[in-house]
Amino acid sequence: KGEIRTLKTNIIDVFEKQYPLDINVIVNNRNIVLGDALDLSISSWHGNEATPHTHACYVYCNNKIVEKFPYKQAEWKHSLLKSLYNTEMSYTPKSPGKYKFVLFAKDAAGNIKTYTTDEFSVTASPLELRANVGFKKYQTGSVVNITARASGGSGKYQYAYYVFKENAVIEKFGYTANAQFKYTPKSAGTYYVLAFVKDSLGAIKTNATSEFYVETYPLNIELYSESFNKIVYCGAYPEGGVAPYKYAYYIYKNNTLVEKFPYIDGEVDIYGYYNDFYYNPKNSGKYKVLVFVKDSAGTIKTKTTEEFEINLDLKLNRTPEIENSITLGNAINVKTYAIYGEGFYKYAYYIYKNGALLQKLPYTNNANLAYKPKTTGIYKILVFVKDDAGETVYGFSNECTVKAASNLKFTNAQIPETAVLNELIAVEAYAQDGIAPYQYAYYIYLNNNIIKKTNYSEYNKTYKFTATKAGDYKVSAFIKDATGAIVYGTSKTCKVSNNPPSNYQDMTLYTYRVETYSSSLYMEFMVRGGMGPYQCAYYIYKDGIRIKNTP
């Protein structure tokens, strides 16, 4: 008790063991074509890591040094087993031959480790160019297509074009990446195009197209016209003159000028110049189009289409439709289908019963008539449609048999057998026959005493109330139809208590949906069991710590 003893260990020497510096290199894109780049990934590790490693590179071509890259600090990267120092570099050979790289890694103590890659080949072929023209002959204003095809050399190509007329340069177009060249001659003569190609190392090759001849022809128009879906179409295809062209159109109805469309630009594709024109006539008649084409020199040529007869008279494209049968008290609904004519339509209706005219309804803007018969019989509707020009069309509907309605009958009133205190209870009442629409009113009873009465409402087929006291609830439902007839009935009893129903299940909560956005988190939960309605609150946690309460 209170005794102290001491023990002394042997002396242990502690020293730091340093692994030797090491290096590795990954070379992508071996055996490439001159002009392409080589990608190298240099990694080193171990050695003295008091400061980051540095990397250097010597480039050899045919075993001779052609370029040196001095030491540069590498980027530190961490792995599970060791620290890595990495350098990414890209090199583009400047001449063909056999290449290799000697890579150097140096640590903080000045230790150096080298790595020599395998040799790989950089090949080159001479830059070549071939320029072609599409045709031997063109007309002024047409499009000449020149295609330049390059091969060999290195990297990506760029193209330039000189246009010659009568062996003299008249236009120059600078370097672009476009191997397709389009040129529009403005005058007659003998032409050719000298194409240039330049590769990524600056090598240039030229080639001239064969000669092509440009002639001037008189301006002429080819027309194609047709009528479809009450539309007049005209396609104008000019030739000759001096392109490009402009187009204008005059519209004639029954040989009278009714509308003018001013000059507009057209379109051009590989087949030549053209313009499409569509016209929507406003009324019936015989239509034709006078087409004007004006070239760049101001020359104008006209041509007229054939004549098209367009019928846009007002008409019923379907017979008016009504129901085949209804019960008295409901409405006959008329659907009318009119097309064409001018402006807005107006509608009038003649009501027929058992083949005799019963009532006339004057013209209004109402395209959908709802007519309520007052007696039984066989009805049909004569519909008149008039447009703004005064033109009128008409048509009879099908027949509708109007039958006497059966007396209103109460079907039942439904209420749950059990509920818990403060639960929302839904009552539904049902009737049949009579004349719709129905209206509903309710008396609420607790232990055979009326505790609430509601007024009639067309929208309360289902009525809901909250049972605030325990006891026996029942409901008397009153249903009134459009004639004022009333029927009623009483539901079964609903027992309300603090005891859960026999089919009660414990409440469970589970996550239904989780989504993350750039700056927000969205979560949706689902509840099963228990008894609604539910109330919810949320605790928000971050890294296990509650950071927010949502009541």
Q: Which domains can be identified in the chain, with CATH numbers?
A: 22-123 (2.60.40.2550), 125-215 (2.60.40.2550), 220-310 (2.60.40.2550), 315-400 (2.60.40.10), 409-497 (2.60.40.10), 508-550 (no CATH)
Average pLDDT over residues 118-138: 89
pLDDT of residue 240: 84
Average pLDDT over residues 40-65: 93
Cα R_g (the chain), whole angstroms = 47
pLDDT of residue 546: 86
Residue carrying structure tokens 């309520």: 372
CA atoms within 13 A on the CB side of 327: 13
Q: How confident is the model at residue 540 (pLDDT cuts 50, 70, 90)?
A: confident
pLDDT of residue 521: 76
Q: How confident is the model at residue 3 (pLDDT cuts 50, 70, 90)?
A: low
**With helix as H, strand as E and coil as C, how does 86-154 read?**
EEEEEECCCCCEEEEEEEEEECCCCCEEEEECCCEEEECEEEEEEEEECCCEEECCCCEEEEEEEEEEC
Average pLDDT over residues 224-232: 93
Q: How confident is the model at residue 391 (pLDDT cuts 50, 70, 90)?
A: very high
Secondary structure (3-state) at 538: strand
**pLDDT per residue over 256-270, tens digit each?**
999 999 999 999 888
Compute the distance between CA of residue 258 and CA of residue 499 in angstroms, rounded to an integer: 86
Q: How confident is the model at residue 397 (pLDDT cuts 50, 70, 90)?
A: very high
Residue 139 has pLDDT above 90, yes or no: no
pLDDT of residue 440: 95
Q: How confident is the model at residue 176 (pLDDT cuts 50, 70, 90)?
A: very high
Secondary structure (3-state) at 233: strand
Burial, 186: exposed, middle or buried (Cβ in 10 Å; 0-12, 13-18, 19+)?
Answer: middle
Compute the distance between CA of residue 445 and CA of residue 464 in angstroms, rounded to an integer: 13
Residue carrying structure tokens 């980027």: 75
Residue 518 has pLDDT above 70, yes or no: no
Extract the tokens encoding 548: 């927010």
Q: How confident is the model at residue 32 (pLDDT cuts 50, 70, 90)?
A: confident
Contact 524, 512 (CB under 8 A): yes
pLDDT of residue 7: 62
Q: Which of 73-82, 108-117, 162-171, 357-366 has the lowest mean pLDDT?
A: 73-82
User: Which residues touch 232 (CB under 8 Å, ≥6 apart)?
Assistant: 225, 278, 279, 281, 287, 289, 305, 308, 310
Say what the pTM is: 0.42
**Considering only CA atoms, which of 116, 51, 43, 108 is closest in space to residue 82?**
43
Instruction: Tell me: cis bond preceding 533? Omega within 30 of 0 counts.
Output: yes
**Considering only CA atoms, which of 154, 100, 98 is closest in space to residue 121?**
98
pLDDT greater at residue 486 or residue 330:
486
- Residue 373 CA to its chain's centroid (Å): 50
Contact 188, 216 (CB under 8 A): yes
Q: How confident is the model at residue 21 (pLDDT cuts 50, 70, 90)?
A: very high
Average pLDDT over residues 337-354: 94
pLDDT of residue 15: 52
Averaged pLDDT score across all residues of the chain? 89
Compute the distance between CA of residue 43 and CA of residue 25 in angstroms, rounded to an integer: 6
CA atoms within 13 A on the CB side of 382: 15
Compute the distance between CA of residue 275 and CA of residue 248 in angstroms, rounded to an integer: 10
Compute the distance between CA of residue 307 and CA of residue 237 in angstroms, rounded to an integer: 19
Q: To the nearest whole percent, how much of the chain has pLDDT over 90?
A: 64
439-446 and 471-480: which strand pairing? antiparallel
pLDDT of residue 81: 56
pLDDT of residue 53: 94
Extract the tokens encoding 516: 């993350």
Extract the tokens encoding 69: 């890259």
- Residue 38 CA to its chain's centroid (Å): 41
Compute the distance between CA of residue 352 and CA of residue 30 in angstroms, rounded to an integer: 94
pLDDT of residue 13: 57
Average pLDDT over residues 167-179: 95
Contact 221, 291 (CB under 8 A): yes
